[in-house]
Amino acid sequence: MPGVSQSWRRSPDRSKDNAEMIAFLSDIHANREALSACLGHADRAGAKRYVFLGDYVGYGADPAWCLRTLRARIADGAIAILGNHDQAIFQRGGGMSGRAAAAIAWTREQLSPDDAAFLQTLPLEYAEEDRLYVHADASAPEEWRYVFSAEEARRSLEATPARVTICGHVHVPRLFGLTATDKVSAFSPANGVPVPLAPARRWLAVMGSVGQPRDGDPSACYALLDPETAELRWMRVPYDVETAAAKIRRAGLPESLATRLFTGT
Amino acid sequence: MAHRHPRPGDTLDGFRLGAALHEGGMSSIFEAIHPDHTYPLLVKLPRLDVGDPSHIVSFEMEQMILPRLTGPHVPRFVAAAGFEAPQPFLAMERIPGPSLLPRLRELPLPLDEVAAIGAKVALALAAIHRQRVSHLDVKPANILFRPTPDGLRGDAVLVDFGLSHHGHLPDLIEEEFHLPHGTAPYMAPEQALGQRNEPRSDLFALGVLLYQFATGVLPFGEPLLLSHVRRRLWRDPVPPRRLRPDCPPWLQETILRCLEVEPERRHPTAAQLAFDLRNPEAVRLTPRATKLRRDNWLKVLERRVNRDRSPRHGRPAATAHASPIIAVAVDLREQTPPLAEALRSSVSNLLRTLPGARVACLNVLLSGALNSDAALDEAGRSARIQRQAELRHWAAPLKLEEGRITFHVLEGSNAADALLDYAVSNGVDHVVMGARAHSLLRSMLGSVSGEVAAKAPCSVTVVRTREQAA
- pLDDT at residue B89, rounded to an integer: 94
Radius of gyration of chain A from Cα atoms?
18
Q: Which fold has domain B323-469?
A: Rossmann fold (3.40.50)
pTM: 0.82
| Terminal C-alpha separation, chain A | 39
Alpha-carbon distance A82 to A122, whole Å? Answer: 5
Residue B315: pLDDT over 90: no
- pLDDT at residue B152, rounded to an integer: 65
Residues 6+ apart with CB under 8 A from B238: B219, B293, B294
Residue B313: pLDDT over 60: no
Alpha-carbon distance B371 to B189, whole Å? Answer: 53
The band of B1, judged by pLDDT with boundaries at 50, 70 and 90, is: very low
Residues 6+ apart with CB under 8 A from B44: B27, B28, B29, B59, B62, B89, B90, B91, B92
Number of structural domains in chain A: 1
SS3 content of chain A, % helix, strand, coil (to 5): 35, 20, 45
Nearest chain A Cα distance for residue B205, angstroms: 27
Please provide residue B372's backbone torsions phi and psi, each rounded to the nearest 5 degrees.
Answer: -80, -10
Alpha-carbon distance B381 to B388, whole Å? Answer: 11
Q: Which of B191, B182, B179, B156 is nearest to B73 (CA)?
A: B156
Question: Would you say B383 and B365 are in contact if contact means Cβ atoms under 8 Å apart?
Answer: yes
Alpha-carbon distance B215 to B375, whole Å? Answer: 41
pLDDT tens per residue, range B268-303? 999 999 999 999 988 999 999 999 999 888 888 888
Please provide residue B400's backbone torsions phi and psi, each rounded to the nearest 5 degrees.
Answer: -95, 140
Show the low-confidence residues of chain A (pLDDT under 50): 1-17
- The DSSP-derived string for B391-404 is HHHHHGGG-PPBTT
Helix H or strand E segment including B315: none
CB atoms within 10 A of CB B467: 10
Residue B83: pLDDT over 60: yes
Dihedral (CA of B332, B336, B338, B343) sign: negative
- pLDDT at residue B437, rounded to an integer: 64
Question: Would you say B414 and B451 are in contact if contact means Cβ atoms under 8 Å apart?
Answer: no
Residue B351, SS3 per DSSP:
helix
pLDDT tens per residue, range B412-456? 888 999 999 999 888 899 999 988 766 666 666 668 888 999 999
- The DSSP-derived string for A236-249 is EE---HHHHHHHHH
CB pair distance less than 8 Å for B169 and A195: yes
Sheet of A125-128, strands arranged across: A125-128, A131-134, A164-167, A202-206, A174-178, A184-187
Contacts of B171 in chain A (CB under 8 A): 185, 187
The band of B158, judged by pLDDT with boundaries at 50, 70 and 90, is: very high
Q: Is A132 domain-assigned?
A: yes
List strand residue ranges (DSSP E) for B70-228, in order. Answer: 77-81, 89-93, 133-134, 143-147, 153-158, 165-166
If 0-12 CB within 10 Å is exposed, 13-18 middle and 19+ buried, where does residue B393 land? exposed
Q: Is A6 domain-assigned?
A: no
Cα→Cα distances B254→B269, B361, B366, Å:
13, 21, 32
Q: Is A98 domain-assigned?
A: yes
CB pair distance less than 8 Å for A181 and B53: yes
Residue B325: pLDDT over 80: yes
Cα→Cα distances A215→A84, B24, B285, B449, Å:
20, 46, 46, 43
Contacts of B83 in chain A (CB under 8 A): 199-200
- pLDDT at residue B299, rounded to an integer: 86
Find out if CATH 3.30.200.20 is the number for domain B11-93.
yes
Taking the mean position of all CA atoms in its chain, how far away is CA B312? 24
Question: Would you say B240 and B251 are in contact if contact means Cβ atoms under 8 Å apart?
Answer: yes
DSSP designation for A10? B
Find out if CATH 1.10.510.10 is the number for domain B101-306.
yes
- State the Cα angle at B282 between B280 and B283, rounded to 5°: 70
CATH number at residue A69: 3.60.21.10
pLDDT tens per residue, range A222-240? 999 999 889 999 999 999 9
- pLDDT at residue B225, rounded to an integer: 84
* Structural domain boundaries in chain B: 11-93, 101-306, 323-469
CB pair distance less than 8 Å for B82 and A8: yes
Tally of helices (H runs) and strands (E runs) in chain A: 9, 12
Question: Would you say A257 and A103 are in contact if contact means Cβ atoms under 8 Å apart?
Answer: yes
Q: Which residues pair with A202 in a beta bridge?
A: A178
Would you put residue B162 in left (φ > 0), alpha (ψ -120 to 50) or beta? alpha
Contacts of B172 in chain A (CB under 8 A): 177, 179, 185, 198
| Terminal C-alpha separation, chain B | 79
Q: Which of B436, B407, B218 is nearest to B328 (CA)?
A: B407
List strand residue ranges (DSSP E) for chain A, in order. Answer: 22-25, 49-52, 79-80, 125-128, 131-134, 164-167, 174-178, 184-187, 195-196, 202-206, 220-226, 231-237
- Average pLDDT for chain B: 87
CB pair distance less than 8 Å for B67 and A13: no
Pairing of strands A231-237, B27-34: unpaired
Alpha-carbon distance B206 to B79, whole Å? Answer: 30
- State the Cα angle at B331 between B435 and B365, rounded to 5°: 130
Give me the domain span that covers residue A136: 20-263
ipTM of the complex: 0.73
Contacts of A4 in chain B (CB under 8 A): 84
Q: Is A112 domain-assigned?
A: yes
Residues of B with CB under 8 A from a CB of A: 13, 36, 53, 56, 60, 63-64, 67, 78-85, 167-172, 174-176
CB pair distance less than 8 Å for A12 and B78: yes
Q: In the predicted model, what is the mean pLDDT of residues B378-382?
A: 77
Contacts of A195 in chain B (CB under 8 A): 168-170
CA dihedral A186, B55, B14, B72 (to 10 degrees): 80
Q: Is A257 domain-assigned?
A: yes
Alpha-carbon distance B284 to B250, whole Å? Answer: 8
Residue B314: pLDDT over 70: no
Nearest chain B Cα distance for residue A181, angstroms: 8
Alpha-carbon distance A211 to A218, whole Å? Answer: 9
Please provide residue A175's backbone torsions phi and psi, each rounded to the nearest 5 degrees.
Answer: -130, 125
Cα→Cα distances B171→A192, B123, B295, B369, B460, Å:
18, 24, 37, 56, 35
Q: In the predicted model, what is the mean pLDDT of residues B78-91?
A: 89
If 0-12 CB within 10 Å is exposed, 13-18 middle and 19+ buried, where does residue B452 land? buried
Q: Is A83 domain-assigned?
A: yes
Please give the residue of chain A at the shortest CA–CA distance from B60.
A198
pLDDT tens per residue, range B188-225? 999 998 888 899 999 999 999 999 999 999 999 998 88
Pairing of strands A220-226, A22-25: antiparallel
Across B57-61, B142-146, B371-375, least confident range: B371-375
* Identity of the residue in B67, B169, B175 whose CB atom sits nearest the CB atom of A179: B175
The band of B383, judged by pLDDT with boundaries at 50, 70 and 90, is: confident
Helices (H), B166-325: 172-176, 189-192, 200-215, 226-229, 240-243, 249-258, 270-278, 297-306, 319-322
Q: Is A189 domain-assigned?
A: yes
